[in-house]
Chain A
Amino acid sequence: MQDRNLSLSNILFNRSIQGIFYQIVTLGLVILAIIYIVDNTARNMVARGLASGFHFLGVEAQFDIQMTLIEYSPTSTYFDSFIVGLLNTLLVAGLGIFVATIVGFAVGIARLSPNWLIAKLAEAYIEILRNIPLLLQIFFWYFAVLRALPKPKQSLEFADSFFLNNRGLFIPDPVFGEGGVLILYSFIAAILISIGIAVWSKQRQNKTGQTFPVFYSSIGLLISFVFLSMLATGFPVTFDYPELKGFNFKGGIKLIPELVALTFALSMYTASFIAEVVRAGIQAVSLGQTEAARSLGLNPNQILRLVIIPQALRVIVPPLTNQYLNLTKNSSLAAAIAYPDLVLVFAGTALMQTGQAIEIIGMVMGVYLFLSLMTSIIMNLFNRFMRVAER
């Protein structure tokens, strides 16, 4: 009887062995399919005389880019153009997330306001913006903004140093002279001391129950430190003012209309989704929590800050992460209005000049995947940190 268990038919009809067998076959098929696709692509590329490999990254790009955060010229390499595009994408995504979060939270809370007018305005904002395709909104803001703004020679100006026209917003560029470093140091010192105060006040509150106005004292510290250090060094900051020369303004910091329109469109659109996420989060905290907090004697501000928001964030953070990911990926629509992001510069111009579609699209996909995964990781860590400890 013992050796019948080991016979061939028993092995063949054993459920778990069959299961393993089919899994191996499936895995094998997937691997073979991948090998087939890669091999076929490589052969077709050779047959059609397509260049392959990443040598092109070291070749001079020979084209210009409108807005670069690093030093770049036509003699820079394709790899430099990749970095320029990447940084521009990060810039617009970062700005977009920042603005969308603030506007989204404000509108989401306004949607729950007992004031009828505010609540309905917030609702109208959400329903209009989230139901119009984003690309149309980008075009609307871009061309609406362009049409409304004057030509450079009739610029709107403020205090002879801020200029707004259809080529962008020009603001003075602060140039730090001698002693400028001291201001930076005192700024950092003020932040460190503020953190110290926050830790100390928390400990004191745990021990004695007494609270300390951390927020206001930090603001006071920052302002007084920076002001005092500037006084001590004799105001070493000068400004490089924009000046009208020829076609346009030169000098100063320039914000191109493409960046403004894209940031605006992305953040307003995403904010309408975030607002709903925030509303759902707040409504998920039962009314009993508010009543209980009130009966403990907390004031409305403390109820919101200490009871409602920590519990609402549990619900808000995961869908909020989705919205951040969407915003980052939607920023690739930039190409439509000439904002030089990764897709326009690298998957556009560089791809056209080199013709190496597989390598370049692969790199661009890799970047978006990496950015999205990093956003997810950071938000998941934040979520774990914010999670209410359940006892």
Chain B
Amino acid sequence: MIIRKLTILSAIISLFTVSAATAGTLDTVKGQGFFNCGVSQGVPGFSNPDSDGNWSGIDVDVCRAVSAAIFGTPDNVKYVPLTAKERFTALQSGEIDVLSRNTTWTLSRDAQIGLEFAGVNFYDGQGFMVRSDSGITSAMELDGASVCTNLGTTTELNMADFFRANGMSYEPVVFEKADEVVNAYDEGRCDTYTTDKSGLAAQRTKLADPDAHVVLPETISKEPLGPVVREGDGDWADIVRWSLNAMIEAEEFGLDKGSASSTCATTGNPVVARLCGKEGGNGAALNLGDSWSFDIISQVGNYGDIYEANVGASTPVGLARAGSPNASYKNGGVLYAPPAR
């Protein structure tokens, strides 16, 4: 009798152990009506909340594009602010479904820690910011400097490489959160603040006197930043990848947020017609509605729209697009989307 009881008990328990398999992310997301998007704790122009808690930025717009593609509205996103240190664990553990938090695409992250990069939404490089009155004009003059930066980024490795390659010494002062780095640099703890140049431009707006600081000309690394998803769910990765690609291709073919509706009504160009969801069956291939890319373009915008609105020359971040790698390949940049067909 005891043995029989134990047998039944162990059978019940073994039932629990088999049900470890998980459903696809897209089905789960459609079922719950929203998805979780990991963003920064506040980097102006990339992902930054306003006083009402509404998020905006070029990274946020990637999340909004994915929401528009799935739900037809850009607002079915729950934003989860994360430190650089927390971000990958949050994605691995399923706390978030997309990580869009100025994250650099590297080999070890792609291959070793269970991540899949879905593309590049901003081409960046690491630079140094110093006080104008220090008289420093080049990163090669930084021998012996105290360098402030934050934890858990490629920045730490790049600066170690840079100083080692040039035979210079330095003192790394590494903080967990970006705000504390800015604070400590502002208080004079460090001679220079290093992170991606876009990050420097964004964080500079938080300094007590932004005009008293200059970004040095050297760029010491390649930092392709882009959205990331969990490895092992190819369908979900495809949706994120092509939401981004659709925005880039829309710009290339002159389809923008303001004129999307009118252009789509009259177009005779088959590429534009596919982006408008009138031809080609792209939606079915991604398990989405046919209007997925039209919804992205008409509600979030094309790549040019989101760039100029968030980080362009007219914004406080003020990163001119012309001449940078983020310009379209037709204008001498490296922004190039595979064809959406």
Contact = CB atoms under 8 A, between A and B. Distances in A.
A146 B186 CA distance: 10
A97 B66 CA distance: 52
Interface stretch (B12-20, B253-261, B320-328): B12-20
Contacts of A36: 13, 16-17
A43 B17 CA distance: 11
Contact of A349 (B1, B89, B151, B180): B151
B174 A338 contact: yes
B152 A348 contact: yes
Contacts of B180: 336-338
A143 B152 contact: no
Nearest to B149: A338
B73 interface: no
Contact of B157 (A62, A245, A247, A351): A62
B189 to A, nearest CB: 5
Contacts of B146: 167, 247-248
A181 B171 CA distance: 33
Interface in A152-210: 166-167
A30 B230 CA distance: 31
A48 interface: yes
B188 A48 contact: no
Contacts of B13: 29, 32, 36
Interface in B99-146: 108-109, 112-115, 142-146
A348 B109 CA distance: 15
A146 B184 contact: yes
B251 interface: no
Contacts of A12: 1
A66 B159 CA distance: 13
Interface in B1-48: 1-2, 6, 9-10, 13, 16-17, 20
A40 interface: yes
A349 B188 contact: no
Interface string A352-365: 11111100000000
Interface in B172-210: 172-177, 180, 183-184, 187-189, 191
A246 interface: yes
Nearest to A73: B164
A340 interface: yes
Contacts of B152: 348-349, 351-352
A50 B92 contact: yes
Contacts, number: 140
A354 B113 contact: yes
A35 to B, nearest CB: 8
A80 to B, nearest CB: 14
Given A143-B187, A349-B152, A63 B173 contact: no
Contacts of A247: 142-146, 191
B128 to A, nearest CB: 13
Given A25-B9, A354-B113, A248 B187 contact: no
Contacts of B191: 247
A74 B108 contact: no
A302 interface: no
Contacts of B160: 62-64, 74
B175 to A, nearest CB: 5
Interface string B285-324: 0000000000000000000000000000000000000000
Interface string A70-89: 00001000000000000000
A286 interface: no
A313 interface: no
A29 B16 CA distance: 12
A372 B195 CA distance: 37
Nearest to A17: B2
A66 B173 contact: yes
B164 A355 contact: no
Interface string A129-152: 000000000000001001100010
B174 A353 contact: no
A108 interface: no
A337 B230 CA distance: 31
Nearest to A11: B2
Top 3 A-B pairs, shortest CB-CB distance? A355-B113, A352-B152, A48-B114
11 contacts: A25-B9, A49-B231, A63-B157, A64-B172, A66-B171, A146-B188, A247-B143, A247-B191, A337-B175, A354-B112, A355-B88
Given A50-B113, A335-B151, 14 more contacts: A21-B2, A32-B10, A51-B112, A63-B160, A63-B172, A64-B163, A248-B145, A248-B171, A337-B175, A337-B180, A344-B176, A349-B156, A354-B113, A355-B109
